[in-house]
Amino acid sequence: MTNEQKEQIRDALLRYTAGFATQKEAAESLDDVSATTLSLLKNDRWEKITERTWQHIARQVGFYCAEEWKQADTGPYLLLRILFGDAQRYAMAYGVAIGSGLGKTYTAKYYAKEHANAHYIACNEQMNRKGLLDALIKIAGGNTSRSAEASLAQVTALLGAQEEPLIIIDDAHKLKDRALHFAALLYKTLINKCGIIILGSDELRSRVVEGARLNKELHQELYNAIGRRFITLGQLGPRDVEVVCRANGVTNEATITEIKDTCRGSLHHATSLIHAARLQSGS
């Protein structure tokens, strides 16, 4: 990996961490990346950072070196891209319940990186309503405010001035109800002006649908905003792992079969296996 690529990964990391209220929250949203590692990268102190760590961070913050990782047209990837594009062009709101390991985070980050005014936010268990607002303000180019009311007004103004803005809220099942309700409130405030995609697990779908059935106001408003339905993606298609393997330089049939059998339908696991296969083959 070249120094130029490392600088590009650092820049992608800076854009990613701007979506969090604190560096600690940003680190907690990444797998196997400490706040100390983030600090070293952001301050150009790279000596102790291994190449594998660089690659691991790059995949999570939405930077993919040309020789490192290639996008593949899996079923979930294509469907999510259609939903993102539809929501952005027509200012629609969608709720998506998607299984783990299907590539939702990769697809969301990749889409936001490619499209102007598409804003990606990764949620975590500590994020409250104000934290979600502050993350969105930073991504949209504003300054955080002390009050939730002032923050909401600023977000509304920033997004309302953009052409075809889109908000992608990832891992929304980690949010508490009041923070999650903000998505419905924002959509109502910016109706016909901003698209919103809410990505989460099936637990999110069950929580919102059951809450709406019980006439809980917060759940009712969110459920109404997304058209009273969740789009559900439960598993990979039979050729999806193979498509990712071939796109990323693994073409040996026996190796592909082994990766498919070992990953158990998870692209998270498949990604690690593909990298291991490439290292073993020297590619």
pLDDT (mean) for 139-164: 84
Q: Could you tell me the fold of the domain covering 75-233?
A: Rossmann fold (3.40.50)
Q: How many Å apart are CA 238 and CA 260, to the nearest integer?
A: 9
245: confidence class by pLDDT, cuts 50, 70, 90: very high
* Residue 232, both tokens: 């559900």
Q: How confident is the model at residue 165, as a pLDDT?
A: 95
Q: Are 111 and 84 in contact (CB under 8 A)?
A: yes
Domain ranges of the chain: 3-61, 75-233, 240-281
H-helix or E-strand spanning residue 232: strand 230-233
Q: How many Å apart are CA 183 and CA 16, to the nearest integer?
A: 20
Amino acid at 194: C
Q: Burial letters for 216-244: b for 16+ Cβ neighbours within 10 Å, e otherwise? A: bebbbbbbebbeeebbebeebeeebbbbb
pTM of the full structure: 0.77
Q: Burial letters for 162-189: b for 16+ Cβ neighbours within 10 Å, e otherwise? A: bebbbbbbbbbbbbeeebbbbbbbbbee
Strands 195-200 and 166-170: parallel
85: confidence class by pLDDT, cuts 50, 70, 90: very high
Q: How confident is the model at residue 161, as a pLDDT?
A: 92
